[in-house]
Structure 1
Amino acid sequence: MNTKPKKQWFLFQNTNICYQVYELSPHKHKPTLIFIHGFLSSQYSFRKLVPLLNHYFDIITLDLPPFGDSDRAKKFRYSYENMSELIIHFMDIHTIKSCYLAGHSLGGQIALMCAYHYPDRINRLFLMAPSSYMKKASIGTYVFSWLPFFPFFLKRMFYRKGVYNILQQCISDTSLITKDMITTYAKPFLDKEMFICLTKMIRDREGDLDRTFLQSIQTKTDIFWGKEDEILPAPIGYRLVQDLPNATLHTYKYAGHLLPEEVPDRISDQIISVLSASNSSFR
């Protein structure tokens, strides 16, 4: 198995997007699974899930801008809708007619946006603590973000909190936090352009899909949630599963928000179980 593929880039709206492709053999047809990471994260967050699922899928991971190794472009439109267009554009240029989407946190909301706008392109959704029911930035925050010092303000907030403390808040079992995780998650934030892009993201981000839109999504969906999630508490998941017509909720004790890091074995087992039950080729 190609466990360490080379990083590649494609161009979307004058922005270079980093991605990696994991496939057992280019001659063996398997369904495609695209991973979409969360806010302040990168494709690195799925490194534990990829080898567990690669026997069943050709897997693609990518870095949403401005995160990971993708460009930190000041003029990019950092809206959910545009991020979903990025995913579909990638599928188009690689002639992927349809795929499975797995999204974590912000990536989960982008996956939902893809299913809403392009239902025929998405086979099934696997959502790990997806961002849900969040409103767009308040008028006050929007106006404040135009002040010249706002990116510096964000930088001060980030450095005051620190990557380790952020990971502590996201992970229930803090013994899982390694030096490599801290270094990798911190790297993009050493670039001063990051905070200019985050400022623009605050302005560009529309609110999450509301109940009316969610109820129109017919795509089969599996939702995964940690019961110790401090970022997006588990009751959000119970609400979401009521609003999505074809969704099932799976919850995990002693797991927090960063599920791909915390319970990759249990999530991969559930994905394989669900697909094996519906398709004999996955067995």
Structure 2
Amino acid sequence: MNAHAQQKSTMINLNGIDVYYEFHQPDPLKPVIVLIHGFLSSSFSFRRLIPYLEKEFSVLTVDLPPFGKSGKNLSFRYSYQNLADLVISLLETLKVDKAFLVGHSMGGQITLNIAKRRPDIASKIVLLCSSGYIDRFHYSLIYSSYFPYFHLWLKAWLAKTGVLGSLKNVVYNHALIDEDMVQGYSTPFVDNQIFKALTKMIRDREGDLSSTMLQQIMTPSLLIWGEEDRVVPINVGRRMHQDLKDATFVSFKDTGHLLPEECPDSIYQQITNFIFPSKGRM
């Protein structure tokens, strides 16, 4: 059977915005694992990890608004707290009472917000190069975001580096970057509406959870880092490891920020060892 034969892809309206999600191999006998992507990304970033996880889990991926195929409404509040509530609403709609959560980069902050707000839902969490300890955007940038056509400036600013340049910054081994990868990360940015939504996100984003807030999270956590991460340096992960009460820390040499693309097999092994320790996977 094709690995993706049992896959439910759909758009659903939650909390006033369209949300695209995929449910790979939904099976009531398998635990649910939720994959939450990072900034300027989408569920596409987990494409190489999903086939591994399908062996053990029903895999749920979601495009966080305004990214990927999800809505880009300017009436939606693009705060971490609201995005966390959106994922919680999706789980409740799908009648998933408990799940394992995996968050990459910005998705790590969404995962931590879920664990803080609804610890009953998060059985265990995995943070892949999670963002951490970043304050709100500077007031001058927030103020500037109200200028007419700011979204066009934002588009031009992002275009300076381009998708290929961005991928070279987040992937340590540039040989992994191919045409499919560039195309996959480029597609969501064809629609100019995303730049208007990102402009609103600059105003809405409330900043990362503080050390005090992290110390209140009791959910067992696995932190995985690339030692060559240029986006979220490994010292951020080590600090988060100290703040979280029940945390394990693992790092990979010669690996950058985009862990699900760079070493999906190793990530899979670490996740399954963490979630199913009694099985003694090596």
TM-score category of the 2 structures, normalised to the smaller one:
over 0.9
Q: Which amino acid aligns with 2:17?
A: T
Q: Unpaired segments of 5 or more residues in structure 1? A: none
Query: Is 1:254 aligned to residue 254 of structure 2?
Result: yes
Q: What SS class does the counterpart of residue 7 from structure 1 fall into?
A: strand
- Which residue does the alignment assign to 1:235? 235
Match of 1:132 in 2: 132
Deviation at 1:9, TM superposition (A): 1.1
Structure 1 residues 4-153: aligned runs within 5 Å: 5-23=7-25, 26=27, 28-153=28-153
**Structure 2 match to 1:271:** 271
Does structure 2 conserve the Cα–Cα contact (< 8 Å) formed by 1:275 and 1:282? no
Question: Which residue identity is paired with 2:68?
Answer: G
Q: Distance in 1 between matches of 2:105 and 2:272?
A: 21
Per the TM alignment, residue 143 of structure 1 is displaced from its structure 2 partner at its CA by 0.6
- Which residue in 2 is equivalent to 1:203? 203
Contact 2:98 2:122 in 1 (8 A): yes
Task: Name the amino acid aligned to 1:68.
Answer: G
Residue number in structure 1 paired with 2:4? 3
Deviation at 1:149, TM superposition (A): 2.4
Between the aligned residues of both structures, percent identity stands at 39
Alpha carbons of structure 1 residues 86 and 282: separation in structure 2 relative to 1, 3 Å: farther
CA distance in 2, matches of 1:12, 1:119: 21
Q: CA deviation at 1:281?
A: 11
Counterpart Cα distance in 1 of 2:207 and 2:59: 29
Q: CA offset at residue 275 of structure 1?
A: 2.4
How far off is 1:159 after superposition? 1.3
Supply the AA of the counterpart residue of 1:275: I
2:120 is paired with a residue whose SS is helix
> What is the CA-CA distance between 1:184 and the residue it aligns to?
1.3
Aligned amino acid, residue 9 of structure 2: K
Instruction: Tell whether 2:160 aligns with 1:160.
Output: yes
Match of 1:180 in 2: 180
Gaps of at least 5 residues in structure 2 are none
Q: Segments of 4+ in structure 1 off by > 6 A?
A: none
TM-score, normalised by the number of residues in structure 1: 0.95
Q: Find the aligned partners of 1:135 and 1:182 in 2 and give their Cα distance.
A: 30
For residues 34 and 150 of structure 2, what CA distance do their matches in structure 1 show?
A: 34
Mapped partners of 2:137, 2:47: distance in 1 = 32
User: Does structure 1 retain, via aligned residues, the 8 Å contact 2:136–2:205?
Assistant: yes
Aligned to 2:218: 218
CA distance in structure 2 between the partners assigned to 1:273 and 1:12 by the alignment: 34
Paired residues in the alignment total 280
Note the aligned Cα RMSD (angstroms). 1.6
- Does structure 1 retain, via aligned residues, the 8 Å contact 2:124–2:275? no
- Listed one character per residue, the Cα deviations across residues 218-242 of structure 1 (whole Å, up to 9, x for unaligned) are 0000001001001111111111100
In 1: Cα distance, 2:9 partner to 2:277 partner: 34
TM-score normalised by the chain length of structure 2: 0.96
Task: Give the AA of the match of 2:37.
Answer: H
Structure 2 letter corresponding to 1:59: V
